[in-house]
Amino acid sequence: MDKGPHLIKKIPDMMNIVKVHKQNQIIGFVPTMGFLHKGHISLIQSARKDNDIVVVSIFVNPKQFAPNEDIDRYPRNIKRDIEICREQGVDYIFYPCAEEMYPNGFQTSVSLSELTKGLCGKSRPTHFSGVTTVLTKLFNIIQPDNVYFGQKDAQQAVIVKQMIKDLNYPITMHILPIIREDNGIAMSSRNKYLSAGQMKNAEVLNKSLKLAETLIKQGERNCNRLKKIIYHKIENENRNSNANIKIDYIEIVNFDNLQPIENVRTNTLIAIAVFIGQTRLIDNIVIK
């Protein structure tokens, strides 16, 4: 067989390919919405190390966008994505269209009752059921042994871990660290929306998390005080620019169950979401 990546657009084709490999090979799967960057590449590289076969999906999933979130604006570049996958030794790119995944009459949704309520779930109430519905389909189609997710989307990672457990998928989940630009900004396809000035403003997300981390190292444990400090850092940092910055949330929770906590302890997640102009960015750190 010639070298990959093979671009597969139809579900039955993907399932037939998987059926053959499943007999004696380990399959690693990296779900993405494309417009690949170094964050995605780090997941692909881990998958390449652990598995015989690597499948990357590229699907801008309409079910995880609310009507006001403008899915049509989401950046895409399939040619470049194919090239990146080729360089990384990906075997298959699963690249279905929306009608392939959600044909007329589609009516099932998969959702979790508790983990989706807080953090991003508050301002994006339908987002996570879109994510878990598409992942259920993708897991059934690709039947991976290993799946790779980024800590960048920390709530998503916790939700998927729970879904894998609840639905008895025989899948091992790997959560990999956040890959950042040189200036500390978490890599994201959505950074494409930012002007040079906004990119500079966006540095405050990581800076405020770093400040919290330093204070924790110095002994601060009180989550309310830490949240206030992060809040003021974000509010003050760009005071003198004409940046349009709005905090969506600052939360400090247990990374296992996303429950708010009063005092920092091991495995604490500090997660923030901030609008820079119209673009909503997320970032987080985990205090080990």
CB 196 → ligand AMP: shortest distance, Å?
19
* CB closer to ligand AMP, 75 vs 260: 75
- Which one, 153 or 237, has the nearer CB to ligand AMP? 153
User: 251 with 260: CB under 8 angstroms?
Assistant: yes
- Does the protein bind ligand AMP through residue 153 (CB under 6 A)? yes
40 binds ligand AMP (CB under 6 A): yes
21 or 40, CB closer to ligand AMP? Answer: 40
Return the residue nearest ligand AMP (CB atom): 150
Which residues in 133-152 contact ligand AMP (CB under 6 A)?
A: 149-150, 152
123 SS3 class? helix
Q: Which two tokens stand for residue 123?
A: 């301002």
Kindly state the number of chain residues that form the binding site for ligand AMP, as judged by CB under 6 A: 17
Residue 252 · residue 261 · CB < 8 Å = yes
Per-residue interface string for the shown chain with ligand AMP, residues 181-200, x marking contact by CB under 6 A: -----xxxx-----------
Least CB distance to ligand AMP at residue 131 (A): 9
Q: How far is CA 78 from CA 9, 84, 187, 194, in A?
A: 12, 10, 18, 21
Nearer to ligand AMP, 186 or 274 (CB): 186
**Near ligand AMP by CB under 6 A: residue from 82, 120, 179, 285:** 179
Asked if 40 is an active-site residue, the reply is: yes
Q: What is the DSSP letter of 77?
A: -
Q: How far is the CB of 175 from ligand AMP (least distance, A)?
A: 8
- Give just the sign of the alpha carbon dihedral 140, 142, 143, 145: negative
Of 40, 127, 174, 232, the active-site residue reads 40
What sign results for the dihedral spanned by CA atoms 83, 85, 89, 95? negative
- Peptide bond connecting 5 to the previous residue in cis, omega within 30 degrees of 0: yes
- Angstrom CA distances, 104 to 38, 99, 100, 108, stand at 36, 7, 9, 12
Q: Sign (positive/negative) of CA torsion 209, 215, 219, 225?
A: negative
Give 188 or 208: the residue with its C-beta nearer to ligand AMP. 188
- Give me the phi and psi of 91, to 5 degrees please: -85, -45
As measured in angstroms, the least distance from the Cβ of 216 to ligand AMP is: 22
The residues that are catalytic are: 40
Question: Interface residues with ligand AMP (CB under 6 A)?
Answer: 32-33, 39-40, 42-43, 149-150, 152-153, 176, 178-179, 186-189
